[in-house]
Amino acid sequence: KKPFKNLKQIIQAEKSEKWKEDDYEYLSIDALPSFLPAKKYSDLSGLPAPYTDPHTKLRYATSEEYSRIKSLPSDIVMGLLNLRKGSTTNS
């Protein structure tokens, strides 16, 4: 059975480890890019969105969101698309 360590003990153990100069960290700018596909989220609710409306290009997660997208005016649709492009780079 593995002994239990609290957060303070884990942090102390990491500080005492010797890191090489060329080791990659999670937040390092030199870290390699992810090979996983970018996750896509609904433009209305923020839930994971498996669907995209072919006319407006808005992403949605449920049929209720789809019916709501159909009733949105075009200026709101454009605003939502601009928000998505401004806040994400790969999605």
Taking the C-alpha atoms of residue 66 and residue 37, their distance in angstroms, rounded to an integer, is 24
pLDDT at 28: 60
Q: What is the pLDDT of residues 57-89, one digit of tens each?
A: 999 999 999 999 999 999 999 999 999 885 544
- pLDDT, residue 79, reads 92
pTM of the model: 0.57
Supply the pLDDT for residue 89. Answer: 44
**How does pLDDT run across 33-55, given as a tens digit for each residue?**
778 888 999 999 999 999 999 99
Q: Which one is predicted more confidently, 60 or 25? A: 60
